[in-house]
Amino acid sequence: MAERSFKKEVEKLRLGAGQEFHGEGILAVTKALLQSGVSYVAGYQGAPISHLMDVLTDATGILESLGVHFEHSASEATAAATLAASVNYPLRGAITFKSTVGTNVASDALANLASGGVTGGALIIVGEDYGEGSSIMQERSHAFAMKSQMWLLDPRPNLPSIVRTIEEGFALSEASNTPVMLELRIRACHVYGRFMAKDNVRPQFTLKDAMEKPVRDVTRIVLPPASFLHEQEKIQKRWPAAQEFIKARGLNEFVAGGARDFGILLQGGMYNTVIRALELLGLGDIFGNSRVPLYIMNVTYPLIDEEVKRFCIGKRAVLVIEEGQPDFIEQNLNTILRRADIQTRLHGKDLLPMAGEYTAPVIMKGILQFVRNYAPHLLEGHSLPGVLQPAAQKPVPVQKVEGEVHPRPPSFCTGCPERPIFTAMKLVERELGQHHVSCDIGCHLFSILPPFNLGATTMGYGLGWAGAAAFNTSESQKRTISIMGDGGFWHNGLTSGVGNAVFNKNDGVLVIIDNAYTAATGGQDILSSQADNRNRTTKLSIAEAVRGVGVKWVRTVTRTYDVARMRDLLKEALTTAEKGPKVIVAQSECTLNRQRRVKPLMKKLAEQGKRVVRERFGVDADMCTGDHSCIRLSGCPSLTIQPNPDPLRKDPVATVLDSCVGCGLCGEVAHAAVLCPSFYRADVVTNPSWWDRSKNSFARPVIAFLQHRLDKRLVENAA
C-alpha cells in the first residue's frame, strides 16, 4: 500500500458533466483518461507521476465499474509493451512513468510499437523530471519522440489544457495510427486547479471482445519486409495525418498581440512562466493578453510547418522559448524557414541559455533582450522588475546569510532500516579499509551523501551489481560491494545483476535491501512486499529467487538494526574463502510505512486498556562531550544537537527529538562502535501489567532510599 492514500480524492473521479473538478494535476489526468474511454492503464511509479499510480490503485472500484484494467507493471519496459493491446484492436490504452529514466527503459518496446503503429489510441504519459526538484540526469523526452516518430504533446500547465490534450491525444493517436507522448513537468503534475468535468466513458470495444475474437496482421510486426514498409508509412501517411489533425483541431494556439513584426514561439509547458515574464516586463497581463504575438506549441513534435510559416511570414524576427537541450525545436524551425526561404530571423538559444531550467527570471532576460533589439519602444515607461535591475553587488541581507545557509540533501528518514546497513558498512570500512561500492537507484542511494559518503557510481535502476561487473579479476583478493533495493531487484536486477554475476562467476558481494516496498517512489507494493494485497501477489522471497538463478552463498538478515550482525556478515562475505557471487538480503520494513501501519494500532490498543510499550531513545546531556560521532554514524533526522546546558562546555550536545521511533540504531551503534554511554532507551509502558507493577514496586523503595542518600551529598555540595 502506498505511502499516500487518495481514498478521499478518488471520489472526484466520479464527477459527471457540468460538475467542476478541483484537485491536483495528476488526479485530473486520471479523470481525463476515464473521460476518454480508456480500456487499460499501466505504468511504473516514480516522481513526479507516482501519485498517478497511487490514485489508480485507490480507484480500483471505479476502474472496475468502467471495465478498465490497471496494472503495476514490473518495469517501464513492461508498461510500454502493454500498449501492444492497441496495435490490432480499437482499444484505448495509457501508460505512465518517470522520464527520461523510464523512457530509457521503455524505449525497446516503444520503438517496436511506434514502428508498426496502433489502431486504438495509445498514450504515454511521461513525468518530465527536469529542473528544480529533479533527481535524475537532465535530459529531454523530446529525443525519444523524434527517434521513434511518436507525437509529443506539451500542454499549457493548467488543468483544462491538460485534460483537453489527453482527450485530443487519443484521437490524434487514432487519426495518425501513432502512439502519442504527453509530457508533464514536475510542477504541472502537482499543480492544484479546476476544470469542468465530463461523464466517464465505458469503452465500447472491450478487452473481452479482443480476447475472445483475436485478430492479427503480420504487416504490423517489426520484421522485414514490414519494417521497411513502416518507415515509409511513418513519413507518407502518419506524419501528414498528424499534421492535418493538429491543424484541424487547433491544438496549437495563437495570440495575436497586435499585428507586430516580431513574435514569440513557445512550448505549451512554458506558457504560464512566459505570460508572467511578459506581465512583469509590461508586455502582457495576468489574463494572458500580450503585446507580443505568441504561437503556443501544445504539440512540440511534429512541428506544423504551415502554422510556423504563417506565424513567421512578415515578421522581422521571432524568439523560440524551448527548455532543455539539444535545441531540437530551434533546429527544426530553422529547417522549416530555410526550406520556405522565409527571411525572418530566428532567435532562441542565442538569447536564452542552452542548458538548465527556464525559470521566470531566465525567460524574462531572454525576452527583454529580444524586445530591446526589435521594439525597444514597447519597454518605455515601465520600470524593470527588481530581479532584472542591474546591481553592483548583492543586497546586504543576501550577503549576510551567505555561509549561514547549508544545503539540505534528502536523507534516510527517522528510523529507516537502511541506515544501519550503511552504519555497518562504515564500521567494516574501519576494519578492512575501503571497498569499491557500486550503487543502485532507491532511497539507499542517500548513502552517497554525508554522513556515510559510500558509493562510487550508479548506473540505473536495478543495475547496482551490473555496475561492478568489470571488477572481476583473479589478480585482486579484494571484493566489490554492490547495493540493490528490492524495487530495483524485481525491476531487472535479478537478471541483469544477479544472473549476470552467476554466469560470469563474479566474486563480489551484493547487498539487497528488502524493505518490503518500492520505498523511494512512495511505498508501493512489489512481489516481495509483506502486505496482504487483494489485487496483487505478494510475500515472495528474494532469497529464493536469488538461489533460483544459481547463487550458492546467500545470507538473510531479518533485522537490519542488528548492526553487529550486519557488520559481521559483511565482513564474512568480503573475506570468506568461498568463491563466486555472495548475496546478503537485508530485511526490515520501511519505517514510513511501518509507522503508518503501527501507530494507529498502538493508539487503539492503549485506549482499550491493553499493555503497550513505546520505545524512545535519549541522550544524557551531562555525559555527552559533543564529539557527535554518533551522528556521523547515523545521520538520523531525530538525532540532532542542542546548545550545551553545561556552562563550561562550548560544543553542542547530541539530543534525540520527540520524533524518535525507537528503531534501536542509536543503542546498537553505541555498542557496535563502542561509542559512549550517554545513550539510553526509555521504554514507556502504558497500562502496565501485574508483573510490570510488582517489579516496579519491589525496586522503587530501595532505589528511592539510595537516591535520597545521593541527593544529600549533592544538596550539601550545591549549598
Find the shortest distance in angstroms from Cβ 637 to other proteins.
5
Nearest residue (CB) to other proteins, 90 versus 361:
361
Among 90, 138, 244, 254, binds other proteins (CB under 8 A): 254
Give the integer Cα–Cα distance in Å for 366 and 370. 6
The half-sphere exposure of 218 on its side-chain side, counting CA atoms within 13 A, is 3
**Residue 300 backbone dihedrals phi, psi, to 5 degrees:** -100, -10
For other proteins, what does the binding mask look like between residues 173 and 202, x meaning CB under 8 A? -------------xxx-xxxx---------
Q: Is 570 in the site for other proteins (CB under 8 A)?
A: no
Find the shortest distance in angstroms from Cβ 498 to other proteins.
26
Find the shortest distance in angstroms from Cβ 145 to other proteins.
22
C-alpha distance across the termini of the chain, in Å: 60
Site residues (CB under 8 A) for other proteins, limited to 630-689: 631-632, 635, 637, 639-641, 643, 645, 647-652, 658, 666-667, 670-677, 679-686, 688
Find the shortest distance in angstroms from Cβ 665 to other proteins.
11
* One-letter amino acid for residue 615 of the chain: E
Find the shortest distance in angstroms from Cβ 429 to other proteins.
11
Find the shortest distance in angstroms from Cβ 650 to other proteins.
6
Site residues (CB under 8 A) for other proteins, limited to 467-526: 520
SS3 272: helix
Site residues (CB under 8 A) for other proteins, limited to 402-421: 402-413
Find the shortest distance in angstroms from Cβ 416 to other proteins.
9
For residue 422, what are the contacts with CB-CB under 8 A and spacing of at least 6?
A: 444, 447, 452, 454
Site residues (CB under 8 A) for other proteins, limited to 356-375: 359-361
Cis preceding linkage at 100, omega within 30: yes
SS3 474: coil
Among 451, 467, 485, 508, binds other proteins (CB under 8 A): 451
Q: Is 206 in the site for other proteins (CB under 8 A)?
A: no
Q: Is 625 in the site for other proteins (CB under 8 A)?
A: yes
The three cell numbers locating residue 538: 505478494
Please state, as a whole number, how many other Cβ atoms lie within 10 Å of the Cβ of residue 409: 10
Give the integer Cα–Cα distance in Å for 591 and 414. 8
Among 14, 291, 436, 547, binds other proteins (CB under 8 A): 291
Q: Is 255 in the site for other proteins (CB under 8 A)?
A: yes
Among 450, 548, 550, 600, binds other proteins (CB under 8 A): 450
Nearest residue (CB) to other proteins, 372 versus 693:
693
Give the integer Cα–Cα distance in Å for 91 and 210. 9
SS3 154: coil
Find the shortest distance in angstroms from Cβ 23 to other proteins.
10
Q: Is 271 in the site for other proteins (CB under 8 A)?
A: yes
Among 14, 84, 138, 164, binds other proteins (CB under 8 A): 164
Find the shortest distance in angstroms from Cβ 419 to other proteins.
12
Find the shortest distance in angstroms from Cβ 366 to other proteins.
14
Give the integer Cα–Cα distance in Å for 516 and 532. 12
Do the beta carbons of residue 440 and residue 461 sit within 8 Å?
yes
Binding residues for other proteins, rule CB under 8 A, total: 143
The three cell numbers locating residue 656: 534525540
Among 43, 93, 116, 157, binds other proteins (CB under 8 A): 157
Q: What interhelical angle do 239-249 and 159-176 show, nearest 10?
A: 140
Residue 439 backbone class (left: φ over 0; alpha: ψ -120 to 50; beta: rest): beta
The DSSP call for residue 468 is G
Give the integer Cα–Cα distance in Å for 592 and 569. 26
Nearest residue (CB) to other proteins, 216 versus 406:
406
Nearest residue (CB) to other proteins, 89 versus 412:
412
Site residues (CB under 8 A) for other proteins, limited to 379-398: 382, 385-387, 395-398
The three cell numbers locating residue 597: 501501519
Site residues (CB under 8 A) for other proteins, limited to 419-448: 443, 446
Candidate ranges 139-147, 174-182, 581-589, 711-719; the one touching other proteins (CB under 8 A): 711-719
Among 223, 259, 392, 470, binds other proteins (CB under 8 A): 259
Among 14, 249, 365, 547, binds other proteins (CB under 8 A): 249
What is the C-alpha radius of gyration for the chain, rounded to an integer number of angstroms?
30
The DSSP call for residue 178 is -
Do the beta carbons of residue 128 and residue 186 sit within 8 Å?
yes
Helix (H) or strand (E) holding 41: strand 40-43
Q: Is 353 in the site for other proteins (CB under 8 A)?
A: no
